[in-house]
Amino acid sequence: MAIFKGAGVALVTPMKENLEVDYDKLDEILEEQIAGKTDAIIICGTTGESATMTEKEHVDVIKFAIERVNHRIPVIAGTGSNCTRTAIELSVEAAEAGADGLLLVTPYYNKATQNGLIAHYTQVAEAAKIPSILYNVPSRTGCAIQPQTVAKLVKDVEYIVGVKEASGNISNVAKIMHLCDGKIDLYSGNDDQIVPLLSLGGIGVISVLSNVAPTYVHDMIYEFFDGNVEKSCRMQLDAIPLVDALFCEVNPIPVKAAMNMQGKGVGSLRGPLTEMEPQNKEVLRKAMMEFGIL
């Protein structure tokens, strides 16, 4: 059984003025997401600025989300690392705290071989012993997990059940589904490719767009599931200008700016990320107004 089906939000981490985690605000946006029909919370992923968190902060934020959500929808913890030992420690702590699943990014900077990825993922998943989703985002990590490697891991490792595909390579996604004979939970990692991946057998998305339009993303997916493919496709195409604006600078710079424009008060970003450039912010503001969320 899949960890979740539908729209999972890659949640931002709100910050105070001193750049400490704003737990009161985190509580608010968790409630807003649940009310907005989001199907799962993905906490401490790329969008959550996990790369700038201490290990203690990382674990504390995961535990907070699990406690506040309290089984209403699944909580998936981003616990990947470029250090296998660190990934194991974070994953075991998340599992013990009650996470419903893990999101495990490919080891960044080290650029492991495919055999190295197999060893890394096998050790992490078997230590944590909860459902785990591989996260393929070579544009950020410099390390791609090949379709054959995905298929081997899903076949050989009990707890590896899915893949978040953010490579943008539709041909590779099709190859993954072919090699796995469809027996893998496929999630889009790109908001501009949700419907295309659903057409290949995907069951949802791990979405940045859901931070600002959770109901829309949920409905787009369930229109597809309900057989209203043309409407789902139209929703996908209508969202493209906003998605482009949300990625006109490196994520999560634009999405935090967008949420602040909406009055959500999620604060600033930890370095080396900086505030959005004024000209890009105006592009984002216009896209949000045209989309009807501002």
Q: What is the mean pLDDT of residues 59-73?
A: 98
Q: What tokens were used for 136?
A: 């393929």
Strands (DSSP E) found in 46-147: 75-78, 101-105, 132-136
- At 182 the pLDDT is 87
Tokens of 196: 């295309």
pLDDT band, very low/low/confident/very high, at 1 (cuts 50, 70, 90)? confident
β-bridge mates for residue 206, sequence order:
8
Q: What confidence tier does 25 reach under pLDDT thresholds 50, 70, 90? A: very high
Model pLDDT, residue 269? 98
Instruction: Estimate to the nearest angstrom the gap between the alpha carbon of 246 and the chain centroid.
Output: 14
User: Do residues 136 and 144 lie in contact, with contact meaning Cβ atoms separated by under 8 Å?
Assistant: yes
- CA–CA distances in Å: residue 209 to residues 33, 132, 215, 217, 236: 12, 23, 10, 7, 11
pLDDT digits 0-9 by tens, 34-60 = 999 999 999 999 999 999 999 999 999
Q: Which of 32, 18, 19 is nearest to 264 (CA)?
A: 32
pLDDT tens sequence across 165-193: 999 999 999 999 999 998 999 999 999 99
For residue 260, which phi and psi values (nearest 5 degrees)?
A: -65, -35
- Using a pLDDT cut of 70, give the percent of the chain over it: 100
Per CATH, the number for 6-236 is 3.20.20.70
Torsions phi, psi for 39 (to 5 deg): -95, -15
The per-residue pLDDT of the chain, averaged, comes to 97
Global model pTM greater than 0.75: yes
Closest alpha carbon to 130 in 160, 105, 97, 153 = 160
Q: Chain centroid to CA 272: how far?
A: 21
Mean pLDDT of 266-271: 97
CA dihedral 178, 179, 182, 186 (to 10 degrees): -100
Q: Which residues are catalytic?
A: 135, 164
Let me know the angle formed at the C-alpha of 81 by 80 and 83, rounded to the nearest 5 degrees: 140
pLDDT score at 70: 98
Select from 120, 99, 102, 103 the least CA-distant residue to 111: 120
Tell me the mean pLDDT in the region 229-240: 98
DSSP 111-134: ---HHHHHHHHHHHHHHH-S-EEE
